Amino acid sequence: MANQNSVAWFEVPVMDMERAIEFYQNVFKVELERHQMGEMDMAWFPWVEGAMGAGGSLVKHEMYKPSMDGVLVYFFSPAGDLDVELSRVEGAGGKVLMQKMLISEDFGYMGVCTDSEGNHIAIHSAQ
């Protein structure tokens, strides 16, 4: 795995795709691209080939279940300051669990919230 990050793709489970798309588009101010892949209903987050980080999607399928347990996905703050996205969470149907806190001067800040589906997610920013 030389010269690459460990994560290639992530999928966030949803029960109500329309509600989840609205949540993520409102919080992060991005457009998700919806795709039907067999029995999977997916909404892809925008990504740039070769950029830092991994691409991912929302996914609705019988084998996926939203949860507060398990893996915690960190989203970059498109605004550059995660307070901006955290301020939108509750209006979009989620709940802020941890306000912005410093990880370290080298790694920046993080905050944690639930999405409209009951998943816990984190947001990261340098400032």
β-pairing, 120-125 vs 108-114, is antiparallel
pLDDT score of 46 more than 50: yes
User: What does the radius of gyration of the chain's CA atoms come to, in whole angstroms?
Assistant: 14
> Token pair 């994560």 is at which residue?
7
Q: CA–CA separation, 113 vs 127, rounded Å?
A: 18
What pLDDT is stored for residue 50 in this prediction? 82
Statement: residue 122 has pLDDT above 70: yes
pLDDT of residue 25: 98
pLDDT band at 1 (very low <50, low <70, confident <90, very high): very low
Quote the pLDDT of residue 49.
84
3-state SS class at 90: helix
Report yes or no: 73 and 83 within 8 Å, Cβ to Cβ: no
Please give the order of strands across the beta sheet that includes 120-125. 73-76, 120-125, 108-114, 95-104
Q: Which domains does the chain have, with CATH numbers?
A: 9-125 (3.10.180.10)
Nearest to 10 by CA among 61, 83, 65, 59: 59
Q: What is the pLDDT of residues 16-45, one digit of tens each?
A: 999 999 999 999 999 999 999 999 999 999
- Read off the pLDDT band of 6 (50, 70, 90): confident
pLDDT tens digits for range 51-67: 888 999 999 999 999 99
Instruction: State how far the alpha carbon of 77 is from the alpha carbons of 66, 88, 107, in Å.
Output: 22, 12, 13
**pLDDT tens, position by position, 72-117:** 999 999 999 999 999 999 999 999 999 999 999 999 999 999 999 9
